[in-house]
C-alpha cells in the first residue's frame, strides 16, 4: 500500500513537471512568433500567432481549449510579456516600477 502511494505521488510530480516544461516551451514559442509577426505580418498578427502556435498544443489539450479561449490565452501571454519588457526597459530591472495609466 505504501508503494502505491509513493508511486502515485511520484507520477503526479512527474506529470506536473511535464506540464511546467510544456507551458514554458509554448510561452517561448509564442514570444518567438510575436517577434516574427511584428517583422513579417502586416494584417492580423494575433491570428498569425494563434494559427501557428495551435499546432504545438498536444491533442489532449485541444479537446478542452476552443479557438476563443486559445486566443484569450495567447493575448494574455502577449500582454504579460509586454508588461515585463516595459518594466525592464524602464530602469533596467524587473521590479514593477513601470506605472503606466491604462
In a domain, 42, yes or no: yes
Contact 70/46 with Cβ under 8 angstroms? Answer: no
Distance CA 58, CA 100 (A): 37
Residue 99 domain-assigned?
A: no
pLDDT in tens, the chain (102 residues): 788 999 999 999 998 888 888 888 888 999 999 999 989 988 899 999 999 999 888 887 888 888 899 999 999 999 988 888 888 887 777 777 766 544
In angstroms, how far is CA 16 from the centroid of its own chain? 16
For residue 10, is it within any domain?
Answer: no
The answer to whether residue 54 is domain-embedded is: yes
Residue 17 lies in a domain: no
Domain count, the chain: 1
Print the domain residue range for 67. 30-91
User: What global pTM score does this model have?
Assistant: 0.70
Is-contact 74 46, C-beta < 8 A?
Answer: yes
Amino acid at each position: 500500500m505504501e508503494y502505491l502511494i509513493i508511486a502515485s505521488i511520484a507520477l503526479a510530480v512527474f506529470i506536473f513537471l511535464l506540464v511546467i516544461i510544456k507551458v514554458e516551451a509554448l510561452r517561448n514559442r509564442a514570444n518567438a512568433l510575436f517577434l516574427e509577426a511584428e517583422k513579417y505580418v502586416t494584417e492580423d498578427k494575433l491570428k498569425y500567432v494563434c494559427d501557428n502556435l495551435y499546432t504545438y498544443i498536444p491533442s489532449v489539450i485541444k479537446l478542452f481549449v476552443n479557438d476563443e479561449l486559445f486566443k484569450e490565452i495567447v493575448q494574455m501571454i502577449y500582454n504579460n510579456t509586454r508588461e515585463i519588457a516595459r518594466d525592464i526597459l524602464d530602469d533596467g530591472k524587473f521590479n514593477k516600477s513601470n506605472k503606466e495609466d491604462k
